[in-house]
Amino acid sequence: MTVDPLVVVQILVAAAQDMVLALAVGALACSAMLERQPSACPATSAALGRSRLAALVLLVLACGLYLWLQAAVMGGTPFSEAGPVVSAVLTQSHFGIAWSVGCAGAVLACFGGARRGRTAGWVATAGMIVYVAGKAAASHAADAGDFTLREGIHVLHLSATALWAGSVIVAAPVLWRWNSNAAVSTEATTVASAGPANRVAFCAQLSHLATVALAVVIVTGIYNATQDTAHLTAPLLGVLYGRVLALKLVLVTLAVLLGGYNRMIYLPRLQHTAADGGPAYRDAQRSFDRLLAVEAVAMVAILVVAGVLGHTSPSGG
């Protein structure tokens, strides 16, 4: 089966959109968790703010590139000649309406991401939700129409996925930065002893957040899969959509196992050894961080496969 090179590029751009959205959501979530720490590092919070804004700007740019690619695919024209088709796509197609909603949400999120404070955070959150709603309206979930239960559940699924994946992906470098700051710290003993406690509290919040987001991802994902494959007459693994879905499920299972092991084994060890901050605590900390880093890699793979799945017809095409 020959695949149009423009469609391949579309899939890559869609995966990039999922990635930068997850990074923006993860940066926002990690910032909120750090703000709850009594001695959070201002430099880390500032770095997260910059990362969130950069991700949102990239999201807007990726939206524009995706529109151009979609116009080229729908118009059957080369990439360089798709300009005249863009206007028609925007004004005469359902995709154009959905794209406009999503892009408006991404721009709104940028305005919120460019500022600091709780209000700005809520503006960024609202913008990202609007973006996700536009994305859902342009997906398989909108086959039965807009403002349906299926489309609403897909919005919830995409949002929970971004929160689950993004919080893990962003938390991995946050904890690495935290460790680096601790390694060069010459603060007083009281501050040093507060470090492990704050770090463990952050890890516990991350674990709880990821667990709740994962539960939503699983429930909504099952619903989406049953809806997408309801009309299949061939065996699920006999069509491309089924094979891509199976790969995604394998990666999700791997991420769940990694996160579950961290939550059940290393997080309790961190909590039990944080008081003295001795070798046992440092060993548990390194193990937790390594497992989190592997989980973050699995999350990146999940987002890439999700981009492919979103461009694969459930009917077996």
What SS3 state is found at 93? coil
Question: What does the alpha-carbon distance between residue 62 and residue 227 come to, in Å, rounded to a whole number?
Answer: 29
Confidence of residue 38 (pLDDT cuts 50, 70, 90): low
- Cα 286 to Cα 57, 69, 177, 230, 262, distances in angstroms: 33, 44, 13, 45, 11
Q: Work out how many domains the chain is built from and give that number.
A: 1
Average of pLDDT values for 104-118? Answer: 91
Which domain does 116 fall in, by range? 5-310
Question: What does the alpha-carbon distance between residue 257 and residue 279 come to, in Å, rounded to a whole number?
Answer: 26
**Cα angle at 72 between 144 and 93, to 5 degrees?**
30
Give the pLDDT score at 192. 41
**Tokens 């999922």 map to which residue?**
18
Question: What does the alpha-carbon distance between residue 155 and residue 149 come to, in Å, rounded to a whole number?
Answer: 10
Residue 315 in any domain: the answer is no
Query: Residues 216, 43: contact at Cβ < 8 Å?
Result: no
Does the pLDDT at position 115 exceed 90?
Answer: no
Average of pLDDT values for 84-104? Answer: 95
**Tokens 């680096």 map to which residue?**
180
Return the minimum-mean-pLDDT range out of 66-75, 183-192, 300-309. Answer: 183-192
Percentage with pLDDT > 70 across the chain: 92
Structure tokens at 110: 């940028």
Give the pLDDT score at 187. 42
Query: Residues 17, 298: contact at Cβ < 8 Å?
Result: no
Give the pLDDT score at 51. 94
Question: What does the alpha-carbon distance between residue 256 and residue 102 come to, in Å, rounded to a whole number?
Answer: 29
What SS3 state is found at 185? coil
**Per residue in 191-202, pLDDT tens?**
344 478 888 999
Q: Give the CATH number, domain containing residue 175.
A: 1.20.1630
Residue 192 in any domain: the answer is yes
Question: What does the alpha-carbon distance between residue 104 and residue 84 come to, in Å, rounded to a whole number?
Answer: 22
> Exposed, middle or buried by CB within 10 Å (0-12, 13-18, 19+), for 200?
buried
Confidence of residue 186 (pLDDT cuts 50, 70, 90): very low
Confidence of residue 29 (pLDDT cuts 50, 70, 90): very high
Residue 245 in any domain: the answer is yes
Residue 316 in any domain: the answer is no
Question: What does the alpha-carbon distance between residue 220 and residue 202 come to, in Å, rounded to a whole number?
Answer: 27
Does the pLDDT at position 181 exceed 70?
Answer: no
**pTM for this prediction:** 0.91
Give the pLDDT score at 39. 59
Mean model confidence pLDDT for the chain: 89
Confidence of residue 267 (pLDDT cuts 50, 70, 90): very high
Interaxial angle between packed helices 279-310 and 5-35, expressed in degrees from 0 to 180 and rounded to the nearest 10: 140
Question: What does the alpha-carbon distance between residue 235 and residue 229 come to, in Å, rounded to a whole number?
Answer: 10
Query: Residues 23, 169: contact at Cβ < 8 Å?
Result: yes
Structure tokens at 304: 């890439």
What SS3 state is found at 243? helix
Does the pLDDT at position 63 exceed 80?
Answer: yes
Confidence of residue 182 (pLDDT cuts 50, 70, 90): low
**Per residue in 121-162, pLDDT tens?**
999 999 999 999 999 999 888 887 888 999 999 999 999 999
The residues, any chain, with a CB within 8 Å of residue 66's CB and separated by 6 or more, are: 10, 13, 14, 17, 99
Eight-state DSSP code of residue 316:
-
Residue 193 in any domain: the answer is yes
Q: What is the DSSP string of 6-37?
A: HHHHHHHHHHHHHHHHHHHHHHHHHHHHHHTS
Give the pLDDT score at 189. 38
Average of pLDDT values for 52-75? Answer: 95
Count of beta carbons in the 10 Å neighbourhood of residue 264: 10
Give the pLDDT score at 143. 81
Handedness of CA 125, 128, 134, 140 (dihedral sign): negative
Structure tokens at 48: 């997260």
Average of pLDDT values for 230-258? Answer: 88
Residue 317 in any domain: the answer is no
Does the pLDDT at position 110 exceed 50?
Answer: yes
